[in-house]
Amino acid sequence: MRFLYVKREQVCRYCGSTIDPGDEAVVLRIRRKNGSFSLVFLHTDQCFEQWTMASFVKRLYEWRESATKRNSRKKKKLGRPAVYINKEKARRLKASIWYHKNQGHTDKVEVLEMELINCRRSE
């Protein structure tokens, strides 16, 4: 939205009368569905306020109509469910298990594996 003094004669989008050169006007850039833009010239005094209120009421009515028709569904989660409650703790335990297995500490590996099993999510 821009306020300006008109250089060339333009037609007001709301009332249809001409806006003479040198008069104040409001220019709106409106995007169309195909991606292009169109310029809308309006008088600053009354036409702009009336046009914005009319478009606001129209959009509000369309939104209310679409909101009542639409049944919002809860979107299902996609992907595999999480295995562990605390991912960071599980990652550290796996690294410790790998280290202690390579060192040959079987008793420590058994304790860590039990801890990792307790960290699993139960369903």
With respect to residue 109, please indicate whether it lies within any of the assigned structural domains: yes
> Tens-digit pLDDT profile for the chain (123 aa)?
888 898 999 888 888 888 889 988 999 888 888 888 888 888 888 888 888 888 889 988 888 887 666 666 677 778 888 899 999 999 999 999 999 999 999 999 999 999 999 999 876
* Residue 44 pLDDT: 87
Distance of CA 111 to the CA centre of its chain: 47
Instruction: Cite the beta strand spans of 7-108 per DSSP E.
Output: 10-11, 18-19, 24-31, 37-43
Structural domain containing residue 105: 87-118
With respect to residue 107, please indicate whether it lies within any of the assigned structural domains: yes
* Residue 107 pLDDT: 95
Strand partners, 101: none
With respect to residue 78, please indicate whether it lies within any of the assigned structural domains: no
pTM more than 0.85: no
With respect to residue 70, please indicate whether it lies within any of the assigned structural domains: no
With respect to residue 79, please indicate whether it lies within any of the assigned structural domains: no
